[in-house]
Chains A and B, each alone.
Chain A
Amino acid sequence: MNCIIIDDEKMARTILKTLCNEVKSLQLIEEFSSAIQAMKFLNNTKVDLIFLDIHMPDFNGLDFIRSLKNPPKIILTTSDPKFAIKAFEYDFIVDYLLKPITSSRFEKAIAKAEKMTVSKNVTSLPSEKTTTKDIENDFYVNIDRRLIKIDLPSIYLVEAKGDYIKIKTEEKEYTVHSTLKKIEEKLPASLFLKVHRSYIINIKKIIDIEDNSVLIKRDVIPVSRSKRPELMKRLDLL
């Protein structure tokens, strides 16, 4: 099994690295001091097992678990036994190890991980159909080192603001370091339309249209002359 370690504390990573080196069937391929770094790595690399610390600043282990679309086996590492209960909430969590981790307890956890069959991926996740639907219905934005989930249909406006974009939803506004072009690629074309070089709107949220502007919630948004025909085509006109 290849594995990675995610823990903000170097001492904890060094201990786990030492323990991993004792087990022939384990190949430690990388270690991370933050869950966000690990997420980037996992986008391109498949791993069999993750040793995951729960208590980390900013983006903790539980945030990380919730963000995984196809989770591998996970062994939680924690100093706090109250988090042990989390080990029973997800099928892909093999075990939890209380710090300081002993060799014998570590070996037991690895034996459990080795016994666990690959089918856990199927049982632990919602159905294939639901997963696809989820991908279409939400996405994550990075704000102050936290990955925040935003429900796509709740977005009514995205506005370019220099190096940032402002995402306005029914409940909140988010300022994200990104471009309108990047977010346009992530938004479903069936729902969103770029009506101006600085604005993308959710066409289902339009209240009224007047000449070269649309009213969405309380925002009056300009519509470029070149975009107006496409906008009119997309609306259900009587």
Chain B
Amino acid sequence: MEKPNLTYINQLARGDKAIEKELISVIKTEFPEEQKDYYHSLAVKDFKKIEENVHRLKHKISILGLEKSYKKANEFEHNLRENSLKGQQDFEKILIAITNYIETI
């Protein structure tokens, strides 16, 4: 499985450490909240909300340079529109990988 990275954040910050720090801080705060929202929507089987949660998480996946995972998340989001949970396991593996990664940055 591909590994998350900070390439995009570094490019955006153009060497400005304060910007890098701010962007990382936002991702470290917002990602766990979004992940929590996702699992809550999943528990109550609110497909519309799950789709919204996945959509938001997708952006974090792309920011962390996970191109293949982004495609999987996109497919999962489309399946949710059809009230299908196909792709859930793959999506949740991505969430675990990101959770582990952001603890290291």
Binding site for B on A (CB under 8 A): 8-12, 14-15, 18-19, 22, 55, 57, 79-80, 99-100, 102-103
Contacts and interface: CB of A to CB of B under 8 A. Distances in A.
Chain A contact residues: over half helix, strand or loop, or mixed?
Answer: loop
B6 interface: no
Size bracket of the B interface: 20 to 34
B52 A100 contact: no
B56 A9 contact: yes
Contacts of B62: 79, 99-100
B52 A57 contact: yes
In the complex, which of the residues B13, B29, B56, B62 has the most CB atoms of chain A within 10 Å of its own CB atom? B56
A79 B11 CA distance: 19
Interface of B: 8, 11-14, 19, 22-23, 26-27, 29-30, 52, 55-56, 58-60, 62-63
Contacts of B12: 15, 18-19, 103
B30 A100 contact: no
A55 B51 CA distance: 11
A35 to B, nearest CB: 15
23 contacts: A10-B29, A11-B26, A11-B30, A11-B59, A11-B60, A14-B26, A15-B63, A18-B13, A18-B22, A18-B23, A19-B12, A55-B55, A57-B52, A79-B58, A79-B59, A79-B62, A99-B62, A100-B59, A100-B62, A100-B63, A102-B11, A103-B11, A103-B12
Contact of B30 (A9, A18, A80, A103): A9
